[in-house]
Structure 1
Amino acid sequence: MKGTRGFLLAGTQSGVGKTTLSTGVMGTLKKRGLQVKAFKVGPDYIDPQFHRYITGNPSRNLDSYLLKEDTIKELFHKNLEEEDIAVVEGVMGLYDGLGTQKDEGSSAHVSKILQLPVILVIDGRGVSTSAAAMVLGYKLYDPDINLAGVIINNVSGEKHYSLLKEGIERDTGIKCLGYLRKNNNIQLKSRHLGLIPCDEVPELEEKLEDLVEMVEETVDIEGLLAVAKEIEIKKKEVKPLRAEEITLAYAYDSAFNFYYQDNLDLLKELGCRLIPFSPLKDTGLPEGIDGIYIGGGFPEVFARELEENQGIRRNLYEEAQRGLPIYGECGGFMYLTKAIKTFDGEVYQMAGVFDATAEMTNRLQRFGYCQVSIKENSSFHKEAFTTKAHEFHRGVVIAPSREYVYSVVKKKKEKIIDRWSCGIESYNCLGGFPHIHFYSNPTFINNFLEKCRIYKKEIRGNQL
């Protein structure tokens, strides 16, 4: 393969097997000696973990609600090199986005922004000629989409595939590029927030090896490469930053691993030296740090282990009292409260930075895109501003003071359909449920880092 090429794998709906298939295709391309760069449409954190595991390269999110079109192009191109193959996994169904807006937040929208051909993944269970009608509908719904191929999942065997292939190619003019047989051994299992993260999957290496073997056997990889579009890489010139370097610790282990790769990259570009630490295993915080970032994850799953690690909980509380800036997001926010009540009703002690408690419920509390307005004169932010965000959680945080930093709205066709308040501040610490992509409005992270620089100069500097 010459030059950089790419394509987008999209499904007809959630649960059709696009993550399984995307991961298998990535692994097969890597096995052929190609440098695979993976991307994920939408705000999901877990699918990119599987991409990274199978390719050995970070996977990045491309979300046309959270990010402007030019930003999506910039983040896509800046992470590609000559001879790469870019594989973009879609989100939900091809046209599913913000409400009924097919051109905001959808895989179709991202494919048009990046001018990538779409490979449609369909479910072959219990259908024959009807599969052709389904594919034709997806083709005609938006003529601006380059629907370049179809891969069929959950096929009973070669005869079934031949039947489906004949109808689809005859009636739609779209080429079938192979299939996967139904195989429970390679299915990626889920729990309350989607797929189980890859570091918790038993025998993951063996599962993925089996998956790659299946893809090699029944998916037309040469056909995929043939329809992949050549990409003219356009990189923005990045001016060297002269900001004073600060040291930022970020929680990274099985309990906390929800981070957008581009957020971490931006922190480095803004002058941060990043040091990972584990609230599960480390006895204390890294030395010489100017701030802490605790992303989302599953503290409720590891609540017992987090409680048992008293040393780091105490260390966090003491450093917060000394003025160390800390930002906690979703699961990280819950960890900074006094305690978490899990699904089974057990209560476990947490860091206690915020005068609040977290509790898991049996239903989704918030799900979807939102806009977050952050009030003026809060912990990190002197002036009020707004950023786009995403929420997806079953937890609630109960704060006696009910003094919240975030005012959040959910909109449909520019009309507010729901509003709520959340986000707590204490000392120099801020926490909330919304997941924020720093490129959506860099003001958020710039203000946090400025607080870290002030801490380094005025507080930590006096302690040296």
Structure 2
Amino acid sequence: MALAIAGERSGVGKTTVTLALLAALQRRGLQVQSFKVGPDYIDPMFHTQVTGRACRNLDPVLTSEAYVQQCFARHVAGVDCALVEGVMGLFDGATGSEDCASTAHIARLLNIPVLLVLDCSRLSRSVAAIAHGYRSFDPRIQLAGVVLNRVGSDRHLELLQSALEPLNLPILGVLRRQAEITIPDRHLGLVPTGELDQFNSLIDRLADLGETCFDWPQLLPLLDAPPPQPSEPLVGQEQNLFPGPQVRIAVARDRAFNFYYADNLDCLEQLGAELVSWSPLSDPHLPVDVQGLYLGGGFPEVFAEQLADNASGRDGVRRAIQAGLPTYAECGGLMYLCQQIQGFDQQSWPMVGILPTTAVMGGRLTLGYRRAIAQQNSSLIAAGTTVCGHEFHRSTLTETTPQPLFQTWRYDPSSQEAPSLEGWRSQQVHASYLHLHWGSRPELAARFVRSCTQFQQPIAKFQ
């Protein structure tokens, strides 16, 4: 029923292998549900475009082990097969010192086999030592076989096969060096699907690759196992935590803002919210009669000039927020609410101006899980509440607020790093660099929906 696609390390081709498998399975007419281990947003966009089904993140740090199992069981029900794309190397976890939230951890939780992708571009006989080490390192892992990626020639393949033969470990795929199949990247990873003009042709080439490069007689039986059954309802799925009137919430959805967990949007809809897509890049005003605004992450720095050019859109957002519109702004959304964004080229562009600070792009990457305690009430969270989130950005703010939203610590319990203060609350705005997953914390979504129902100003007034 399901298979986890893991790598021996980052950059070995997990995403290419996963997309080739997904595209080939789709071409065979199968219904495929995909998952992504960890907090990533961009790989799930590619999965969703290939399968036509929302990819689900499996992250026990942002949610819980029980939620990971329940989410997986619920979303594989009724499909033909499922693929779980891993994160980093197979055993690399959230802290680096243990494998919590690693691909291996998720494979154990779900009791599914692992397909290990090996980068063979600079290997011959040593490939056997790597494969043997990964198979023996944790006997709880069901290593179904390997995919040999970036194989240079027939002779190279013969050497790899000869080295692996004594291990009796199936070679389930062989991918030659595919210079023509490349997905462009930039400062935060792959370029999202919405910015790739030739994406459909790319998927066609990946499907061709998938059909010809994998050992389907051995692979398909691995995907035929019966699906697990959810032991309990998903938290928030079977209970209406706020049975109030329906509210309309504008969700920023365009090339600048597209980092959303599907489960977060599900939570809002299950609580009675009608989600209305809106583009800060091109729409001159907010949708009519909305009572809340959700500004997800993305790449506002890449589209800062276009965001600045949409002056009426920025002005409408500012006036609505000043009138009390509940607003949840996450990472890129926080940047949009600043006075300006200063790009990598040092040029500055005006933004909404609700937060009295400038987001400045730099070379330093801020990355990692965070434990956070809310320091004050907001439209999303109550003071004193503890959450786990994830940061991933290359911008910093020129000013700090005297009343920060969060006190944060690195997730690693062994870290001696001092806590930091982060996040802004202004009017009914909750703005933070922390990405939060609400799947196991539906009370956060319920609080935001409740805040939205209390906004009674006619939004047309701010258009």
**Normalising by structure 2, what TM-score?**
0.94
Per-residue CA distance 1:54-78 (angstroms, 9 max, x = gap): 1111111001221211100111112
Contact 2:120 2:148 survives alignment (8 Å): yes
Distance apart, 1:255 and its partner CA: 0.2
Distance apart, 1:184 and its partner CA: 1.6
Distance apart, 1:418 and its partner CA: 4.2
Change (3 A) 1:84 1:417: farther
Per-residue CA distance 1:26-73 (angstroms, 9 max, x = gap): 000010110011100000000001101111111110012212111001
Superposed counterparts of 1:371-450, under 5 Å? 371-399=371-399, 401-450=401-450
Contact 2:44 2:55 survives alignment (8 Å): yes
Question: Secondary structure at 1:49's aligned position in 2?
Answer: helix
For structure 2, the 5+ residue unaligned runs are none
Q: Which amino acid is the alignment partner of residue 329 of structure 1?
A: E
Aligned-residue Cα RMSD (Å) equals 1.9
- Answering whether residue 189 of structure 2 is matched by residue 191 of structure 1, we say no
Structure 1 partner of 2:2? 6
Q: Which amino acid is the alignment partner of residue 444 of structure 1?
A: L
Distance apart, 1:106 and its partner CA: 0.2
| Alpha-carbon distance in structure 2 between the residues aligned to 1:174 and 1:454 | 61
For structure 1, the 5+ residue unaligned runs are none
Change (3 A) 1:215 1:162: farther
Structure 2 partner of 1:331? 332
Structure 1 partner of 2:172? 177
Structure 2 partner of 1:287? 288
Contact 1:411 1:418 survives alignment (8 Å): no
Question: Secondary structure at 1:97's aligned position in 2?
Answer: coil
| Alpha-carbon distance in structure 2 between the residues aligned to 1:405 and 1:214 | 48
- Greater relative contact order (CA < 8 Å, ≥ 6 in sequence): 2
Distance apart, 1:415 and its partner CA: 4.5
Contact 2:405 2:422 survives alignment (8 Å): yes
Q: Which moved more, 1:47-56 or 1:417-426?
A: 417-426
| Alpha-carbon distance in structure 1 between the residues aligned to 2:192 and 2:418 | 31
Structure 2 partner of 1:61? 57
Distance apart, 1:222 and its partner CA: 2.8
Contact 2:379 2:447 survives alignment (8 Å): no
Change (3 A) 1:158 1:30: farther
| Alpha-carbon distance in structure 1 between the residues aligned to 2:17 and 2:418 | 36
| Alpha-carbon distance in structure 2 between the residues aligned to 1:159 and 1:170 | 18
Superposed counterparts of 1:107-146, under 5 Å? 107-146=103-142
Q: Which moved more, 1:80-89 or 1:69-78?
A: 80-89
- Answering whether residue 200 of structure 2 is matched by residue 205 of structure 1, we say yes
Q: Which amino acid is the alignment partner of residue 108 of structure 2?
A: K
Per-residue CA distance 1:116-142 (angstroms, 9 max, x = gap): 100000001121111011001001110
Distance apart, 1:240 and its partner CA: 5.7
Structure 1 partner of 2:250? 249
Per-residue CA distance 1:63-122 (angstroms, 9 max, x = gap): 122121110011111212334211100001000112234431100000000001000000
Per-residue CA distance 1:249-273 (angstroms, 9 max, x = gap): 1100000000011111111111111
Distance apart, 1:361 and its partner CA: 0.7
Change (3 A) 1:407 1:24: same
Number of equivalences: 455
Distance apart, 1:368 and its partner CA: 0.7
Q: Which amino acid is the alignment partner of residue 71 of structure 1?
A: Y
Q: Which moved more, 1:265-274 or 1:34-43?
A: 265-274
Which ranges of 4 or more aligned residues in structure 1 deviate by more than 6 Å? none
Change (3 A) 1:57 1:262: same
Distance apart, 1:397 and its partner CA: 1.7
Q: Which amino acid is the alignment partner of residue 201 of structure 2?
A: E
Distance apart, 1:218 and its partner CA: 1.7
| Alpha-carbon distance in structure 2 between the residues aligned to 1:306 and 1:243 | 35
Contact 2:5 2:116 survives alignment (8 Å): yes
| Alpha-carbon distance in structure 1 between the residues aligned to 2:299 and 2:61 | 25
